C-alpha cells in the first residue's frame, strides 16, 4: 500500500520506539498540502480524519483492498478535474491547503460567463448554490432524522438550486423537498434515506409511488428495463423442472407427497446423483413437507422463522465456495463504508444482519438477508430500507474488487413465512432495487403451488452466486498480478461508487464522541511521554 507521505511515515515508524501520530503530523505540517492534493478534504479536521483512518485501516484490512480504494478515489478525482474548466487548475496548486465548495462554484461560473464581472458572479453564488451533491445533503438529512434542523440550515437548503433534469438531479430535488417539509411520514423518511444513498426503490409499492412523482415516465421505464434480473441462464435444467412438477402436482395430502419425494430420492441415490440439482430440489421439498404440519405460532421470534428457511438454503448452496454467517453480525463492507466516509464517522454505525453470505476464507460479503417476526410487520418499510443500504455497501465492495465487472447482487427479505427476492443493480452511479419473485415458507398443502416458484428462484440465486464468486476470484487474481507487473492491456480506472447514508443514533453519537476525545487524549499523552524521554536522553548525553 503506497500513498503520498508513505515513505516518510514508514521511516518515522521504524525510527521511533514510541511513535506519536500527532508528532508525525506536526513534523510534516509543511508538506501535508502536497501529500493531500488528491484527498477529498476541504477542511483541516477532514484532512486529519483521512490520515487517522488510514492509520486504523492499515492494521484492520488487507493492503490490497486499500490500494483499490485509493486508486478508485484518485481515478474519480482525475476524471472530475478533466470535466472542470481548465481555468480552475490554479485551485489545485500546492500553495493552497483548503478550498471551499463555494469558491469552486464561483470560479467555474466566472469562467463560464466570461463577460460577467467577478462582483456580479460573487453575488449570484452567494445567494444560490447550483453545484449541489447528494453528499452535501447528508448532514442535513442526519439533522432531520434527529429533529435538529435549525433555521439557518433551512435557509441554506433553500439556497440550493438544481436546474438539471437528469435522474440524479431529480433525486437531489426530491431530497431537498423532503428536508423542507415540517414533518415526514414513515414512507417519506425511508425514501429520503434511500435517495441520500442513491437508491431507487422499485420493490415497495408505496415508495414506488414516490418514485413516480420524482422521475419522468421515460426515466422510470429506462431504469426498470435496464436493471431487471436476467435469469434466463440461471436455474434448474428442464428435466429437474419437470421432476418438480411431477412431484408436487395433483398431490392433495402430505403422506402422498412424502412418499413421492422419498421414492424418487432413493432412485437418485442408487444412481449416485446425490450432488445433483434434482436431489437437492427434492431434499428442499422433503424438509418443507416435514415441517408443514408443525405450525409456527404467530408470536414466534424471527429466529424461529429464519431457522426453518435456513435449512433449505443449506442444501441449495451446499456446493458453493461460500459460507452462511448468521446471528446479528455486521458486514465488513458496512464497516469499510463507515471508515471511508467523508462525513462525521460518529453518525455511522454497523447494521445488524441476520444472514450474511460470504466467500469462503475471505472477508468478502455477497449479500445481506434479514428475517422479521409477524409482530414487526408494521416496520417492514424500515427493515427494507436498512437492508437495501446494507447491500449497497456490500455491492460497492464487490464492484471495486471486481474492477467494475460485478454490478449486481441478489438478496432476500422475510417477514414471518412470506418474503421476496430482489436484485440490486449499480448503474450510472445509482442503485436500483427490483423485485425478482415473492417467496413463501409453506405451512399448508395449498401453499405448494406458490412454493414451487420459491424453489425455482432459489436455484437461480445459487447459479447467480456461483457466477459472482467466479468473477470475483478471477478479478482478485488479476489485481494481484497487476501489482507485480504492469500489463499494457490493463485498465486501472475504477468508477467511483455512491456513498451510503447511515441513520444517526443520538445516544451512540455521544458515545462515539467520548471515544474520539479519549483517543485524542491518549495521543497527546503519547506525545508528552516521547518528549520527556527525548529530554532525558539529551540530559544523559
User: Do residues 145 and 79 share a domain?
Assistant: no
User: Do residues 377 and 522 share a domain?
Assistant: no
User: Do residues 281 and 363 share a domain?
Assistant: yes
What integer pLDDT is reported at residue 95 of this predicted model?
35
Element containing residue 200 per DSSP (H, E): strand 199-201
Which residues, 6+ apart, have CB-to-CB distance to 304 below 8 Å?
A: 296, 373
Neighbour order of strands in the sheet with 430-440: 199-201, 430-440, 418-427, 408-415, 365-372, 352-359, 322-330
Q: Is 297 a domain residue?
A: yes
Element containing residue 366 per DSSP (H, E): strand 365-372
pTM, rounded to two decimals: 0.67
User: Do residues 376 and 440 share a domain?
Assistant: yes
For residues 375 and 369, give the distance between their C-alpha atoms in angstroms, rounded to a whole number.
18
Using the CB atoms, write b or e for 24-48: b if 16+ within 10 Å: beeeeeeebeebbeebebeeeebbe
For residues 248 and 446, give the distance between their C-alpha atoms in angstroms, rounded to a whole number.
11
For residues 318 and 274, give the distance between their C-alpha atoms in angstroms, rounded to a whole number.
11
User: Do residues 248 and 344 share a domain?
Assistant: yes
Q: Is 364 a domain residue?
A: yes
Structural domain ending residue among the three candidates 65, 83, 101: 83
Residues of the domain holding 517: 509-541
Strands 408-415 and 418-427: antiparallel
Q: Which of the 8 DSSP states describes residue 160?
A: B
**Phi and psi of 370, rounded to 5°?**
-130, 150
User: Do residues 179 and 256 share a domain?
Assistant: no
User: Do residues 382 and 244 share a domain?
Assistant: yes
User: Do residues 73 and 174 share a domain?
Assistant: no
What integer pLDDT is reported at residue 315 of this predicted model?
92
For residues 305 and 369, give the distance between their C-alpha atoms in angstroms, rounded to a whole number.
13
Structural domain ending residue among the three candidates 177, 203, 226: 226
Domain count, the chain: 4
Look at residues 478, 494, 476 and name the one whose alpha carbon lies nearest to residue 72.
Answer: 494
For residues 257 and 246, give the distance between their C-alpha atoms in angstroms, rounded to a whole number.
11
What integer pLDDT is reported at residue 483 of this predicted model?
60
DSSP sequence for 281-347: HHHHHHHHHHTTTSPPPTT--HHHHHHHHHHHHHHHTTTSSEEEEEEEEE-HHHHHHHHH-SS-GGG
DSSP sequence for 393-462: HHHHHHHHHTTTS--EEEEEEEETTEEEEEEEEEETTEEEEEEEEEEE---SGGGHHHHHHHHHHHHHHH
How many CA atoms lie within 13 Å of 143's alpha carbon, on the beta-carbon side?
15
Q: What does each of the 541 residues of the chain score in pLDDT, given as a tens digit?
A: 566 777 788 888 888 877 887 788 878 877 776 676 655 555 565 666 666 565 555 444 444 444 555 555 555 555 555 554 443 333 333 333 333 334 333 333 333 433 343 333 343 434 555 668 888 898 999 899 888 899 999 999 999 988 888 999 999 999 999 999 999 998 999 999 999 999 999 999 888 988 998 999 999 998 888 777 877 779 999 999 999 999 998 888 999 999 999 999 999 999 999 999 999 999 999 999 999 888 888 888 888 889 999 999 999 999 999 999 886 555 454 555 444 444 444 444 444 557 889 888 887 899 999 998 887 777 888 889 989 999 999 999 999 889 899 999 999 999 989 999 999 999 888 999 999 999 999 988 989 999 999 999 999 999 999 999 999 999 888 777 766 555 555 555 565 677 777 666 553 444 444 454 555 666 666 777 777 777 777 766 6
Place of cell 486504523: 56
Q: Is 113 a domain residue?
A: no
Structural domain ending residue among the three candidates 171, 192, 226: 226
How many CA atoms lie within 13 Å of 234's alpha carbon, on the beta-carbon side?
19
Q: Which of the 8 DSSP states describes residue 350?
A: P
User: Do residues 202 and 243 share a domain?
Assistant: no
Q: Is 233 a domain residue?
A: no
Q: Is 496 a domain residue?
A: no
Q: Is 524 a domain residue?
A: yes
Residues pairing with 427 in the sheet: 430
Q: Is 502 a domain residue?
A: no
Place of cell 429464519: 306
Instruction: Give the distance from CA 404 to its chain's centroid.
Output: 15
Which residues, 6+ apart, have CB-to-CB distance to 461 below 8 Å?
A: 234, 316, 410, 412, 421
Place of cell 458486514: 331
Cell of 22: 500527532
For residues 379 and 49, give the distance between their C-alpha atoms in angstroms, rounded to a whole number.
35
CA angle at 411 for the pair 409 and 417, rounded to the nearest 5°: 170
Q: Is 40 a domain residue?
A: yes
User: Do residues 292 and 422 share a domain?
Assistant: yes
What integer pLDDT is reported at residue 518 of this predicted model?
57
User: Do residues 213 and 151 share a domain?
Assistant: yes
User: Do residues 341 and 434 share a domain?
Assistant: yes
Amino acid at each position: 500500500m503506497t500513498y503520498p507521505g508513505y515513505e516518510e511515515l514508514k521511516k518515522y515508524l521504524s525510527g521511533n520506539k514510541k511513535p506519536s501520530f500527532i508528532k508525525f503530523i506536526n513534523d510534516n505540517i509543511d508538506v501535508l498540502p502536497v501529500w493531500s492534493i488528491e484527498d477529498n478534504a476541504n477542511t483541516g479536521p477532514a484532512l486529519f480524519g483521512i490520515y487517522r483512518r488510514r492509520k486504523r485501516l492499515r492494521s484492520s484490512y488487507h493492503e490490497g483492498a486499500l490500494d483499490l480504494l485509493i486508486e478508485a478515489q484518485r481515478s474519480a478525482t482525475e476524471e472530475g478535474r478533466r470535466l472542470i474548466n481548465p481555468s480552475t487548475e490554479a485551485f489545485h496548486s500546492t500553495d493552497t491547503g483548503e478550498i471551499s465548495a463555494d469558491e469552486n462554484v464561483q470560479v467555474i461560473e466566472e469562467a463560464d460567463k466570461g463577460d460577467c464581472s467577478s462582483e456580479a458572479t460573487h453575488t449570484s453564488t452567494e445567494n444560490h448554490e447550483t453545484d449541489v451533491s447528494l453528499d452535501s445533503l447528508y448532514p442535513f438529512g442526519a439533522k432531520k432524522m434527529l429533529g435538529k434542523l435549525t433555521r439557518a440550515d433551512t435557509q441554506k437548503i433553500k439556497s440550493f438550486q438544481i436546474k438539471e433534469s437528469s435522474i440524479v438531479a431529480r433525486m437531489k430535488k426530491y431530497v431537498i423537498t423532503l428536508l423542507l417539509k415540517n414533518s415526514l411520514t414513515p414512507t417519506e423518511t425511508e425514501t429520503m434515506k434511500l435517495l441520500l444513498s442513491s437508491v431507487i426503490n422499485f420493490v415497495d409499492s408505496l415508495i414506488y409511488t414516490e418514485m413516480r412523482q420524482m422521475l419522468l415516465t421515460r426515466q422510470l421505464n429506462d431504469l426498470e428495463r435496464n436493471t431487471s434480473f436476467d435469469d434466463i441462464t440461471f436455474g434448474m435444467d428442464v428435466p429437474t423442472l419437470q421432476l418438480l412438477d411431477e412431484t408436487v402436482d395433483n398431490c392433495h395430502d402430505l403422506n402422498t407427497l412424502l412418499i413421492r419425494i422419498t421414492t424418487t430420492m432413493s432412485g437418485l441415490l442408487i444412481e449416485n446423483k446425490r450432488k445433483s440439482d434434482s436431489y437437492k430440489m427434492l431434499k428442499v421439498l422433503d424438509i418443507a413437507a416435514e415441517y408443514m404440519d408443525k405450525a409456527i405460532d404467530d408470536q414466534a421470534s424471527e429466529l424461529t422463522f429464519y431457522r426453518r428457511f435456513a435449512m433449505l438454503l443449506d442444501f441449495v448452496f451446499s456446493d458453493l465456495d461460500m459460507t452462511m454467517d448468521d446471528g446479528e453480525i455486521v458486514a465488513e463492507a458496512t464497516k469499510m463504508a463507515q471508515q471511508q466516509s467523508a462525513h462525521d464517522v460518529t453518525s455511522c454505525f454497523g447494521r445488524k444482519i441476520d444472514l450474511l453470505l460470504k466467500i469462503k476464507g475471505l472477508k468478502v460479503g455477497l449479500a445481506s438477508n434479514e428475517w422479521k417476526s409477524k409482530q414487526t410487520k408494521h416496520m417492514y418499510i424500515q427493515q427494507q430500507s436498512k437492508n437495501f443500504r446494507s447491500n449497497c455497501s456490500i455491492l460497492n465492495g464487490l464492484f471495486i474488487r471486481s474492477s467494475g465487472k460485478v454490478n449486481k447482487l441478489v438478496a432476500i427479505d422475510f417477514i414471518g413465512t412470506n418474503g421476496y427476492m430482489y436484485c440490486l443493480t449499480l448503474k450510472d452511479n445509482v442503485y436500483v432495487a427490483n423485485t425478482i419473485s415473492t417467496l413463501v415458507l409453506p405451512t399448508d398443502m395449498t401453499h405448494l403451488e406458490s412454493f414451487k416458484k420459491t424453489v425455482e428462484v432459489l436455484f437461480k440465486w445459487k447459479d447467480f452466486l456461483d457466477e459472482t464468486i467466479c468473477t470475483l476470484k478471477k478479478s482478485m487474481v488479476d489485481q494481484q498480478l497487476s501489482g507485480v507487473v504492469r500489463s499494457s492491456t490493463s485498465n486501472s480506472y475504477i468508477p467511483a461508487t455512491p456513498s451510503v447514508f447511515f441513520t444517526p443514533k443520538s445516544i451512540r453519537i455521544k458515545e462515539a464522541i467520548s471515544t474520539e476525545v479519549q483517543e485524542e487524549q491518549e495521543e497527546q499523552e503519547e506525545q508528552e511521554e516521547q518528549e520527556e524521554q527525548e529530554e532525558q536522553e539529551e540530559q544523559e548525553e
